[in-house]
Amino acid sequence: MRLVVVGNGMAGARLVEEVRARDPRMPITVFGAERSRPYNRVLLSNVLAGTARPDQVRLVTPGWYAEHDVTAVLGTEIVAVDRDAKEVVAADGRREPYDALVLATGSEAVVPPIPGVERALAFRTLDDCRAILAAAATARRAVVVGGGLLGVEAARGLAGRGLPVTLLHLADHLMDRQLDPEAGQVLGQTLAGLGVRIKTGVTVVEVLGGAGNRPAGVRLADGEIVDGELVVLACGVRPVTGLAAASGLKVGRGIVVDDELRTSDPAIRAIGECAEHDGTVYGLVAPAWEQAAVVADLITGYRTGSRYRGSRPVTRLKAKSVELAAMGETHVDETTDSGAEVVRFSHRARGTYHKLVIRDDRLVGAILVGETPVVGTLTQLFDRGGRPLPGDRAGLLFPGVTGPPVADSPVRMPDSARVCRCNDVTKGRIRACWESGARDVEAVAAVTRATTGCGTCREAVEGVIGWLREQEGATA
């Protein structure tokens, strides 16, 4: 069985690791259009902010491919799939045969077709990040176009370097896909406190030119000029499906796949941001990694009954002074939706907004903006959609104040509780690692990959390790 993987990003690289963990001999060739080794795209905002170096967001060590007998062809784009011959064709003319082909082509930045847009920089790849940092070194002001998750992260990162930033967004509030209006406004106030000027409900119609073909700012639809020697585009992403479409595979919003992640050609599968499963394209890392594990199970024969049934994604942002989580149903019309019970708490002065959406005594959605000690518990309740909630709803947001404490500390957390969602690592697995000699976060991460996804679970992992250390000391 010869496996070829097209795409060496977070989905493709994880698939290669998962396959090699199950089968040490299967011939594997992976093609990556970028010259860089795989890196964690989720953490690029930390590189922008200066809290992480590019080498700290790498997903594999320099010698991993050679050590594990994987052929990695980097900086080479695959331009065609010859399904009859079962070969992929590279831009340099190379043809690589396959028995199993997995497309992990990811997504690409949306670039609006406006005059002067070539003067702006997209924020999507590590090379994009390097270009933005180089431009930021001499810029006096920055403009970020797009107030979704990526735009918020870019604005926060640049502001963290002391650069005045204006964040422009087409919708009436930030992160409108994940947050309701009040949550978006609270998030906006938090960012404003960090030095980010925010303008919502605006349309950028031109990127203006300055000296040396650098940008001088942007023009809005109402004629207003927003100055900035650095213009960053964070206008969303779209699945990269051109290769699949040209190969005759079924394509909708993404490459259409079934529960075995097979495309309309059974010899070809697709995972990650380019894949559309059951009408959904997931733009987060946890679903991509769940899909990679299923494909690895199937093509190696390790677990032939493995199936992907969809994910319950949680959007997280945890950075200095900015914390939020959004999951499930967050937009509910309470005037017409009689089946939804909504629990809400807002304290704008403190940058706090919490909202729970409950149906049939189950948590089906939540928004948490600002620091909250119960995000882990609520995520667990959302993950386990079949578990009834306690009668005291306020106790879910204020544990130990209006009701009994919830299981969010390591002491009360069951071993089955998921600490790291991206890599499906439970408290029990961390305990097992500890008992096997892994005594710090880095050692636990090396075994379980906890903290290597979105990075927001690091504090929780540290908490479990600290509790285990205290337990050991108490029994010594």
Residues 433 and 326 in one domain: yes
Confidence of residue 475 (pLDDT cuts 50, 70, 90): low
Residues 184 and 264 in one domain: no
Q: What is the mean pLDDT of the chain?
A: 90
Residues 249 and 100 in one domain: yes
pLDDT at 400: 56
pLDDT at 452: 79
Compute the distance between CA of residue 103 and CA of residue 275 in angstroms, rounded to an integer.
8
Residues 104 and 53 in one domain: yes
At 118-155, the pLDDT tens digits run 999 999 999 999 999 999 999 999 999 999 999 999 99
Instruction: Please answer whether residues 430 and 444 qualify as being in contact, where contact means their C-beta atoms are separated by less than 8 angstroms.
Output: yes
At 202-246, the pLDDT tens digits run 999 999 998 888 999 999 999 999 999 999 999 999 999 999 999
Whether the pLDDT of residue 402 is over 60: the answer is no
Percent of residues, the chain, with pLDDT higher than 70: 95
Residue 289 lies in a domain: yes
Residue 306 lies in a domain: no
Q: Of 235, 255, 278, which residue constitutes the final position of a domain?
A: 235
Return the bridge partners of 103, or none: 6, 270
Q: Of 179, 205, 235, which residue constitutes the final position of a domain?
A: 235
Residues 254 and 217 in one domain: no
Whether the pLDDT of residue 187 is over 70: the answer is yes
Confidence of residue 318 (pLDDT cuts 50, 70, 90): confident
- Higher-confidence residue: 250 or 425? 250
Residue 13 lies in a domain: yes
Residues 460 and 335 in one domain: yes
Residue 121 lies in a domain: yes
Which CATH number fits the domain that encloses residue 347? Answer: 3.30.390.30
Confidence of residue 285 (pLDDT cuts 50, 70, 90): very high
Residues 211 and 266 in one domain: no
Name every residue whose Cβ is closer than 8 Å to that of residue 256 and which is 6 or more positions away in sequence. 249, 250, 263, 264, 276
pLDDT at 409: 58
Confidence of residue 250 (pLDDT cuts 50, 70, 90): very high
Compute the distance between CA of residue 375 and CA of residue 399 in angstroms, rounded to an integer.
11
Compute the distance between CA of residue 269 and CA of residue 105 in angstroms, rounded to an integer.
11
Residues 231 and 249 in one domain: no
Residue 293 lies in a domain: yes
Q: Lowest mean pLDDT of 77-81, 358-362, 417-421, name the range.
A: 417-421
Q: Report the domain count for the chain.
A: 3
Instruction: Spell 394-430 as b/e; 16+ CB within 10 A means b.
Output: ebbbbbeeeeeebbbbbeebeeebbbbbbbbbbbebb
Residues 462 and 338 in one domain: yes
Residue 202 lies in a domain: yes
Q: Of 219, 235, 251, which residue constitutes the final position of a domain?
A: 235
Whether the pLDDT of residue 403 is over 50: the answer is no
Residue 258 lies in a domain: yes
Confidence of residue 412 (pLDDT cuts 50, 70, 90): low
Residue 48 lies in a domain: yes
pLDDT at 458: 79
Residues 294 and 428 in one domain: no
pLDDT at 293: 97
Compute the distance between CA of residue 227 and CA of residue 38 in angstroms, rounded to an integer.
35
Residues 324 and 470 in one domain: yes
pLDDT at 86: 98
Residue 6 sits at the vertex; the CA angle it makes with 4 and 10, to the nearest 5 degrees, is: 115
- Higher-confidence residue: 395 or 115? 115
Domain hosting residue 387, numbered range: 316-475
Which CATH number fits the domain that encloses residue 250? Answer: 3.50.50.60
Residues 469 and 332 in one domain: yes
At 253-264, the pLDDT tens digits run 999 999 999 999
